[in-house]
Structure 1
Amino acid sequence: MRGVGHYLPDRIVPNSEFETRLDTSDEWIRSRSGIERRHFAADHENTSDLGAHAARAALADAGLEAADLDAIILATSTADLTFPSAATMVQDAIGMQSGFAFDVQAVCAGFVYALTTANAMILTGQARRILVIGAETFSRIIDHEDRATSVLFGDGAGALILEAQDGDGSAADRGILASDLNSDGRYRDILYVDGGVGTRDTGFLRMQGKEVFRHAVEKLAETAETALASIGLSGADVDWIVPHQANIRIIQATAKRMGVPMDRVITTVQDHGNTSAASIPLALSVGKARGQIKQGDLIVTEAIGGGLAWGSVVLRW
Structure 2
Amino acid sequence: MYSSKITGLGYYVPDNVVTNDDLTQWMETSDEWIQERTGIKERRWIDPKTEDTTSVMGAKAAKIAIERAGLTKDDIDFIIFATLSPDLYFPGGGVQVQDLLDMPTIGALDVRNQCSGFIYAMSVADQFIKTGMYKNILVIGSENHSGGLERSTRGRGVTVIFGDGAGAAVLSRSEEEGKGILSSHLHSEGKHAKELVLEGPATGRWVPEIIDANDPDDVSYFPHMNGQFVFKHAVVRFSEAIVEGLQANGLQKEDIDMLIPHQANLRIAQFIQKKFQLADDKVYNNIMKYGNTTAASVIIALTEAWEKGKINDGDLVVLAAFGSGFTWGSVVIRW
Over residues 258-293 of structure 1, what are the superposed CA-to-partner deviations in whole Å (9 max), with x where a residue is unaligned? 232232101110000000000001001111111211
1:155 is matched with 164
Distance in 2 between residues matched to 1:244 and 1:262, nearest whole Å: 16
1:37 partner letter: E
1:116 partner letter: S
SS for the counterpart of 1:213 is: helix
Provide structure 1 residue ranges, at least 5 long, that are not aligned to the other structure.
none
Counterparts of 1:168-183 in structure 2 under 5 Å? 168=177, 173-183=178-188
Asked if 1:57 is matched to 2:78, the reply is no
Distance in 1 between residues matched to 2:133 and 2:290, nearest whole Å: 35
Distance in 1 between residues matched to 2:91 and 2:25, nearest whole Å: 38
Distance in 2 between residues matched to 1:147 and 1:78, nearest whole Å: 19
Counterparts of 1:230-241 in structure 2 under 5 Å? 230-241=248-259
Asked if 1:9 is matched to 2:20, the reply is no
Cα shift at 1:64 = 1.1
Provide structure 2 residue ranges, at least 5 long, that are not aligned to the other structure.
1-5, 208-219
Contact residue 50 and residue 156 of structure 1 kept, 8 A: yes
Q: Select between 115-124 and 94-103 the one with higher mean Cα deviation.
A: 94-103
Distance in 2 between residues matched to 1:162 and 1:156, nearest whole Å: 20
SS for the counterpart of 1:63 is: coil
TM-score (norm 2): 0.91
2:185 partner letter: D
2:194 is matched with 189
Asked if 1:283 is matched to 2:324, the reply is no
1:21 partner letter: W
Over residues 157-213 of structure 1, what are the superposed CA-to-partner deviations in whole Å (9 max), with x where a residue is unaligned? 000111011133xxxx22110111000011011100121332224921100000000
Over residues 199-258 of structure 1, what are the superposed CA-to-partner deviations in whole Å (9 max), with x where a residue is unaligned? 224921100000000000011011111011001012110000011011110001112222
Over residues 117-153 of structure 1, what are the superposed CA-to-partner deviations in whole Å (9 max), with x where a residue is unaligned? 0001111111111011100001122222212111000
Cα shift at 1:42 = 2.4
1:108 partner letter: C
Aligned residue pairs, count:
313
TM-score (norm 1): 0.96
Counterparts of 1:180-219 in structure 2 under 5 Å? 180-198=185-203, 199-201=205-207, 203-219=221-237
SS for the counterpart of 2:158 is: coil
Contact residue 26 and residue 151 of structure 2 kept, 8 A: no
Cα shift at 1:54 = 0.3
Distance in 1 between residues matched to 2:68 and 2:259, nearest whole Å: 22
Distance in 2 between residues matched to 1:238 and 1:284, nearest whole Å: 14
Give the one of 11, 19, 28 matched to 2:24. 19
Contact residue 320 and residue 330 of structure 2 kept, 8 A: yes
1:200 partner letter: W
Counterparts of 1:113-132 in structure 2 under 5 Å? 113-132=120-139
Cα shift at 1:28 = 1.0
1:109 is matched with 116
Q: Percent identity?
A: 41
RMSD value over aligned CA atoms?
A: 1.2
Contact residue 135 and residue 158 of structure 1 kept, 8 A: yes
Distance in 1 between residues matched to 2:86 and 2:26, nearest whole Å: 28
SS for the counterpart of 1:83 is: coil
2:202 partner letter: V
Contact residue 40 and residue 155 of structure 1 kept, 8 A: yes
Give the one of 58, 71, 82 matched to 1:75. 82
